Structure formats: C-alpha cells, structure tokens
C-alpha cells in the first residue's frame, strides 16, 4: 500500500501557454518511460532530467511521482477515448460493439500491465480524502469508466470492466494467471455485455 505525506504542495493546473505546455508534454513523454518501473523507483527529478525540464518547473506541476503518473494515465485514457470513438464511427453497427469493447478493454489491460508504477497509483495509493490527489484519482477513474462505458452501454458497465481489469492485473502480477489467459477472460466478459441504446453515455 502506497501512502503519501499530508503536507504535499498543491499542483498547478496544466499550462496553456505554448512554451510551458510543451514542457508539460515533455514531462509526460518522459514519464511514460519511467512508468514501466515499480512506483518507488520513479522520481520527479529524474523524469525532469530525462525531459530536459527544470526541476522547479517539474515540481510546480507534479509535486509527487503520483501526480505525474496519474497525469500521464489521464492523457493515455484521453488518447484511448479518441481511438475508440474513431473506431465506433467507422463501424457503427450494433454487432461490432462487443468486439470494439473487448479491444478497448484489452488495450487498457495491456496499458496497466506494461506500466507497474501507474498501476500502483491506481490500485494501492492511499491519500487523505480531501487531498487534490484524491480528486485526480477520481477524475482518472471516471474517465476510464466512461471510455469503456460508451461501448458497453453505460458508465456502470464500464466501471465493472475497469474493476475486472484491475483484478486481472493483480492476478497476473501474483502469478495466478498468464497474460493471454487474462485477455481471454476479459474478451469473454465483454462478449456477454449487450450494449443498450438507452444507457449510453453522451
């Protein structure tokens, strides 16, 4: 279980000016490399050095490794949402939805497996209830549920699949399942979900 100190400084919102936005993006690009490590091995200062960004700028937007990794995952989920939306537009048939859902769910599973540090933030991080990091975790959770919910027929169904992904990742990491077995179980579960036309997110 990961715990953070209560006295973490607040992070600033993502910058909108081109120069700072570029540095912010460079930090996230570099964080993607570090996300393949275990959480204790990720340091904001090391990511800043890799990204050629000053440490002061890095800590301004990412006071902890958790802030940085969750911001990275938020960007990845937005990219996944864009990919799934594009696939949905290119194949709008109802019959294609379970296959598209399974594809997106497997992408999420692979994302979590390949990024242990991100996975630890999502499944093991303990923060004070009123801390901004809790709000960031909530934002990431809502985003992941909505990405899959658009294909599954509602946020509640999307949440169920995300929770299944978390369980499968834990089973793989503890050696109870092989990755290909987990993928098949996930595909089988997605095939059971018949999308509805009334319970879909806007």
Please write the tens of the pLDDT for every residue from 21-70: 999 999 999 999 999 999 999 999 999 999 999 999 999 999 999 999 99
DSSP three-state, residue 17: coil
| Greatest CA separation for the chain | 51
Give this prediction's pTM. 0.89
Residue listed under structure tokens 């960004």: 53
Question: pLDDT at position 3, please?
Answer: 64
């Amino acid at each position: 279980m990961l715990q953070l100190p209560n006295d973490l400084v607040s992070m600033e919102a993502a910058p909108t000016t081109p120069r700072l936005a570029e540095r912010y993006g460079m930090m996230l690009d570099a964080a993607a490399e570090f996300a393949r490590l275990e959480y204790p091995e990720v340091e904001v200062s090391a990511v800043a050095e890799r990204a050629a960004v000053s440490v002061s700028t890095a800590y301004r937007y990412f006071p902890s490794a958790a802030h940085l990794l969750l911001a990275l995952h938020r960007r990845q989920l937005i990219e996944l949402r864009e990919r799934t939306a594009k696939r949905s537009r290119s194949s709008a048939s109802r019959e294609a939805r379970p296959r598209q859902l399974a594809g997106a769910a497997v992408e999420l599973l692979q994302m979590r497996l390949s990024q242990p540090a991100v996975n630890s933030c999502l499944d093991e991080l303990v923060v004070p209830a009123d801390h901004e990091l809790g709000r960031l975790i909530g934002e990431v959770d809502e985003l992941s549920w909505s990405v899959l919910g658009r294909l599954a027929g509602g946020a509640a169904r999307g949440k169920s699949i995300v929770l299944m992904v978390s369980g499968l990742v834990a089973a793989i990491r503890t050696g109870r399942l092989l990755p290909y077995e987990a993928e098949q179980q996930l595909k089988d579960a997605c095939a059971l979900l018949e999308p509805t036309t009334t319970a879909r997110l806007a």
